[in-house]
Amino acid sequence: MSLLEARGLVRHFGGLRAIDGVDFDLAAGEIHALIGPNGAGKSTLVGLLSGRIPAQAGTIRFDGRDITRLPAHARVGCGIAYAFQITSVFPRLTTFDNVALAVQRTGARDLAAATEAALARVGLSGEAGQLAGTLSYGHQRLLEIAMGLALAPRLLILDEPTQGLASGEIESFMTLVRSLVPEVTVLLIEHNMEVVMDLAQRITVLNAGRVLARGTPAEIQADRAVQAAYLGG
């Protein structure tokens, strides 16, 4: 069953065709990776899906509802959370307060309990009272994921989540992501191919603003066009 369906998405910036007629589907409860060379249009596509960039053409449906014209904050209310490529925590607030701000949007009856649960989910309970700006980079990335999870999303979009993480932190991150499904659908934009091939159940490859290939990790690794354009085969 598709949770998200996009058809014919178009977004140009001047003469650059960042997204040029893309169809994209996410099945409920899956980990889906979006990969491609630099400039392929990955960040633009997730910007369109999350509502941070308006589509110039095409449609987006989420759980059967047309959300094409909804702004980003309204899509959060529909159940779409987006963790940025660059950390977007509030550095002068505590770790706890960062997550509590996200929990407030859900109308949770017990703000403290919901906040503590989100922190525990990512292993940051011990840093609850620490200023977010003093956390390590890896912990700031985990905090941002906690903020996303605090919104109780049905779809969590993670943009380059392992960038800057140490190998041990990457292993912990993969364990965390696996624990989210099938309750949460995960869309992963990632350059680390070991992470992609280990985590993803399905992969979409973008190149020059268009879909180059779709399939399982094994199918993508064997695809000659993908090898030529991206995997270096």
pLDDT tens string 68-99: 999 999 999 999 998 764 457 899 999 999 99
Q: Is position 129 within any domain?
A: yes
Q: Is position 131 within any domain?
A: yes
Domain assignment of residue 142, given as a range: 89-148
The percentage of the chain sitting over the pLDDT mark of 70, rounded to a whole number, equals: 97
Q: Could you tell me if 51 and 67 are in contact, meaning their C-beta atoms sit under 8 angstroms apart? A: yes
pLDDT value of position 182: 93
pTM of the model: 0.90
The percentage of the chain sitting over the pLDDT mark of 90, rounded to a whole number, equals: 71
Report which secondary-structure segment, H or E, holds 160.
Answer: none
Q: Is position 125 within any domain?
A: yes
Neighbour order of strands in the sheet with 155-159: 80-83, 155-159, 185-189, 31-35, 202-207, 210-215
Q: Is position 138 within any domain?
A: yes
Q: Is position 166 within any domain?
A: no
Q: Is position 113 within any domain?
A: yes
Long-range contacts of 112-121 (CB under 8 A, 24+ apart): 114/150, 115/150, 118/146, 118/147, 118/149, 118/150, 119/95, 119/146, 121/146, 121/149, 121/176, 121/179
Q: Is position 134 within any domain?
A: yes
pLDDT value of position 85: 47
Q: Is position 81 within any domain?
A: no
168 or 56, greater pLDDT: 56
Least confident of 4-8, 23-27, 143-147: 143-147
Number of separate domains in the chain: 1
